[in-house]
Structure formats: structure tokens, C-alpha cells
Amino acid sequence: MGTQTVVAHAKHATQQQANGDCPALLAPALINGNGSGNGNGSGNGSGSGSGNGSGNGNGNDSSGSGSGNGNGNGNGHHRHAASMDLLSSSGSGATTTLSQNSTPKSSPPATPAKAKKAGGKATKKRLTPEELNSMIHSKISQLEEETAHEEEGEQALVNAVKKANKEITQMINSEEADKLTIVHQKYMDIEMKRLERDNGKMRKQTELVRKERDTAKSDLSKTNSMKHKLETLCRELQKENKRIKEESKKLALSEQQKREELSSKFETTIWEIKSKMEEDTDEKRKRLKDNELLKEKFKSFLEQYELREKHFNCVVRSKDLELQLYSAKLEQQKQLAEQETVKAEALRQQVAAFAKTEAELRKQLNVYVDKFRQVEETLNKSNELFLTFRKEMEQMTKKTKKLEKENTTIKTKCETMNKNVLEMAEEV
């Protein structure tokens, strides 16, 4: 039985209470109205609920329509728990208006931090213009895909709203008994879909943030390992440079000692040659030749020694340059490590913020579930009261039928008695 019949039964109950024929029946207090006056009025109403009023006259109830003596002015409002105005009535007639205000919330799009990663990689290695162009194009395509996904989601939401509007119009044209159940079910489905969609978006955002955090942690561990390796290499290079310097000093000292020994030997040989040359001219010539040979050998030896010294100086310079280069690389890696730590801290803060928002959304979801349960309980209570009212009405109809049958039997008996009396009078 629909809302129109409920309103009609309520009017009939109030009229019978005014006549004193039957006690007042209680129904769900969804519509409150007061009316008083004298006159004639009739009206049809639709809605679920009953009202209290007083008047003089008799009324008949037949599937939501009532007529009788008594005219009243009253206003009633019915408010659904899901912010839906279903019924507004005034005077002797009633009109039904259905409006649903539901503004689906859309969560903000995720903002990926891949540009930051690209910046961190660019500091590690210089990128060519082609690589930069490819990275820019990939970023643009990614943003276009995200906007396309958002537009698809909005279009799907618009289509769902249109579909819901069509279903609501079909529901309005359908029977009165299924309206409340269909509206309640549709509203619950839409609300649960919206919450599931928001929860899915939040899960995607948290997954993205977790992935970025893991990548940042891996990059940080890599940079730390590279830093330790570079520090060990620098230490080894410093040790190697010290060893090479010490070896070069030792070689220089040994070469100087050898040169001094050779010079002393050369001087001794020269003095010996001079002494011998004085003794013998032939031997002197031979010794002169030997002396020239020794001079040439000594010159070649000095040239070789100078070349060796130049070579060692070049090696020492190259090692110093390598040490400077590795120290510069070490400073660069330290700066990169500091940048990665800052990024990791920012990502941790984002993860904490998303966790808070997720907890708040879960609390809101629990609140909505509790509200839905309360609505279901109230609907179940109203249905139980309506069933009791219907049973009592059926009992009253059965009693009226029995009384009508008894009345007909009594009438037949009276007619027979009258006939018998007439016959007896005629016989007398």
C-alpha cells in the first residue's frame, strides 16, 4: 500500500476519532498537520505518514481518497534522512515533489613527483638536448593521459547522474509502494560507489607515494654507497700519492748519491789519466779517447736522469690532478645526498598527510554506514506499524461484513414475522 493510502487512512482515523466511532490509531510521525473549520471538502493526497486534527463530520476511506463534512487548513513536511523532500501539502489537496540534492565529491588528482626524479638524475649525468626533448614529450603525454582519465571519470559521473535522473522519473511514474525502497536503494548505491571511487583514488595516490618513497630510498642508498666508495678511493689515492712522493724522494737521493759517486770517480779517473798522460803520450791519447767516451757516456747518463726526473714530475702532477677531480666528485655526491634526504623527508610528510586523510575518510564512511542503518531501522519500524494498522483495518472490515450479514438476517426475519402477523390478522 502506497503513501496516498496512508494519508487517506490517517484522515479517516481522525474523522472517526472526532465522531467518537473508534480510538485514534498511531502511525509514523512523518507529517504533522492541524486543521479546524466547518464546511465541505474533499481531496486526494500522497505521502507516507499521518496527521492529527479535529473537525465535525463523517468520512469514508477508499484507497487514499476521503470526503465528508469538515474543512481544514494544514501544512505538512516530510523530510528523508538522505536530504530528500518528498511531500508538501496544504488545504484540501496534496502534491508530491521529489528533489534530491547530492553533490558527489571528487578527490584532487594525484600530483606525481617524477619531475623531481628527472631533476635528480640530470644532476648526476648531463643530458643531451634529444634526451631532454624526449623527457619533456613523455611528461606532456603523461599529463594528457591523466587529464583524459579525469575527463573520463567526470563523463562517467555525468552519465551516472543522468541515469539516476531517468530512474527517478521512472520511479515517480511507477507504483507508490516501491518509491521509498527504490529511492533508498539508489541513494545507498550512489553513495557507496562514490565512497569506493574516492577510496580507490586515495589508494592509488598512496601507492604512488610509496613507490616514490621506495625509489628515493634506493637512490639514497646508492648515493651513500657511491660516497663510501669514493671516500675509500680518495684515501687510497692519497696513500698512493704519499708512497710515490716518498719513492721519488728516495730515487732522487739515490740518483744524487750515484751522480756524486760517478763525479768523484770521474775526477779520480781524470787525475789518473792526467798523471798517466804525462808519463806516456800514446797512453795519453788512448786515455783522451777513453775520457771522451766517458764524457759522452756521462752526458747520456745525465740526459737520461733529467728525462726520468721530468717523467716523475709529470706522474706526480697527474696524480695531484686526479686527487682534485675525485675530491670535486666527492663534494658533488655529498650535495646530491643532501638533496635526496630533503626529498625523502618531503615524501614522508606527504605519506603522513595521506594517511591522515585516509583515516578521516574511513571515519566518514563509518558515520554514513551508521546513518544508513538508522534509516533502515526507522523504515522497518514504520513498516511494522503499517502492517499492524492494516491488520486492524482488515479486522474492522470483517466485523462490518458480519454486522451487515446479521442485519440482513434480522431484516429477513422481520419480514417473515410481518408476513406471519399479516396472515394471522387476515385469518382472524
pLDDT tens digits along 91-120: 333 333 333 333 333 343 344 334 344 444
Helix H or strand E segment including 318: helix 281-427
Query: What mean pLDDT comes out for the span 188-213?
Result: 85
The fraction of the chain above a pLDDT of 70, given in percent, is 65
Helix H or strand E segment including 272: helix 179-279
**pLDDT, tens digit (0-9, with 9 covering 90-100), for 52-88:** 444 443 433 333 333 444 343 333 333 333 333 333 3
**pLDDT, tens digit (0-9, with 9 covering 90-100), for 10-55:** 444 444 444 444 333 333 333 333 334 344 434 333 333 344 444 4
**pLDDT, tens digit (0-9, with 9 covering 90-100), for 321-348:** 888 888 888 888 888 888 888 888 888 8
Q: How far lies 266's CA from each of 89, 243, 261, 275, in Å?
A: 136, 33, 8, 14
The angle subtended at Cα 79 by Cα 78 and Cα 84, nearest 5°, is 120
**pLDDT, tens digit (0-9, with 9 covering 90-100), for 293-308:** 888 888 888 888 888 8
Helix H or strand E segment including 59: strand 59-62
**pLDDT, tens digit (0-9, with 9 covering 90-100), for 368-421:** 888 888 888 888 887 788 788 788 888 888 888 888 888 888 888 878 887 887
Alpha-carbon distance of 28 to 10, in angstroms, equals 11
Angle between helices 129-173 and 179-279 (to 10 degrees): 170
Place of cell 706522474: 315
Confidence of residue 234 (pLDDT cuts 50, 70, 90): confident
Count how many Cα atoms sit within 13 Å of the Cα of residue 327 in the half-sphere of its side chain. 9
Q: Give me 389's grid cell.
A: 494498522
- Contact predicate 84/109, CB 8 Å: no
Alpha-carbon distance of 27 to 382, in angstroms, equals 7
Cα–Cα nearest to 382, from 236, 105, 181? 181
